[in-house]
Amino acid sequence: MRILLAGHLGQLGRTLMPLLARDHTVEGIDLPAHDITDRAEMLELAARFRPDLILNSAAMTNVDGCARDPGLAYRVNGMGTQNLALAAARVGAEFLQVSTNEVFDGTATEPYHEWGACRPINAYGRSKLAGEWYAQHLLTRFYVVRTAWLYAGEGRNFPHRILELADEHGALSVVTDEVGNPTYVVDLAEAIAKLIKTHAYGIYHLVNDGAASRYEFAQLLLDSSGRGAVSLTPIASNAFQRASTPPAYAPLANTAAAALGIRLRPWQDAVAAFIDAAGYRRRDGDAL
């Protein structure tokens, strides 16, 4: 296939680009050279490249930044997706939109299924739900792929921050009342590569298997990297203020993709792979 990959410089895009290039012809677009909020530019790019699939991994993912500027969040995550969906419609391409568990309100008592009612409680979730809406209403051949708590071997994300703070301070406080699916970008990218070969359009939840609180996630990161002696204090999310309010309990259930034979490994195994790939594992005798 010919794939137009939006957001190829982001943490998911950087992993998808070489993976998809093994089997497909891929052209990546991202800021500053290309802007998905420019509709004319997206239509022109699609007309020139003639993709079979447009894959949108571009997004404004700073959830606190979205809360501070919801207009910008909607322009990028909502209207940017609309522009790419219109471009896909213009050239007859399939479309894949990467979305988030934050389209749910976090009041459930069990993981959310693909068909669950979406009720976002913050600007980020609302803007991503707008993107989902455009994909579903402008196209018939689409995938919506929701994921959660994505992290990679590079960039700014929760595992890197936890391990950096552990080394800097030797003690951490992490919330226990926010639950989701820690998801390793390598596993998500591989699952997406498998999904687009099925042409089984629809909504999918692609996350590493199992759920954890932020505290449990942090504890495993410390233990797996040889930092188990670092003091980790459990706290409630109301102990500090932030611009955005994340859903308290929003793990996703992989039902639809599992029916196609697409499953991601347990999140604990993914953390171990991340620790080794990112070079965070301490050995006996390493300085604390």
Q: CB–CB of 110/102 below 8 Å?
A: no
Instruction: Examine the residue annotation and report whether 124 is marked as an active-site residue of this protein.
Output: yes
Instruction: Give residue limits of the domains in the chain.
Output: 2-156+182-209+251-265
Tell me if residue 138 falls in helix, strand or coil: helix
Spatial distance between the Cα atoms of 249 and 41, rounded to a whole number of angstroms: 39
Q: Which of 6, 52, 54 is nearest to 28 (CA)?
A: 6
Residue recorded with tokens 């596993």: 187
Cα of 59 vs its chain's centroid, Å = 10
Burial 168-189 (b: 16+ CB within 10 A, else e): eeeebebbebbbbbbbbbbbbb
Question: Which class is domain 2-156+182-209+251-265?
Answer: alpha beta
Find the helix or strand (DSSP H, E) in which 187 lies.
Answer: helix 185-195
Q: Which of 74, 112, 124, 280 is catalytic?
A: 124
Per-residue pLDDT of the chain (288 residues; tens, 9 = 90+): 999 999 999 999 999 999 999 999 999 999 999 999 999 999 999 999 999 999 999 999 999 999 999 999 999 999 999 999 999 999 999 999 999 999 999 999 999 999 999 999 999 999 999 999 999 999 999 999 999 999 999 878 999 999 999 999 999 999 999 999 999 999 999 999 999 999 999 999 999 999 999 999 999 999 999 999 999 999 999 887 889 999 999 999 999 999 999 999 999 999 999 999 999 887 543 544
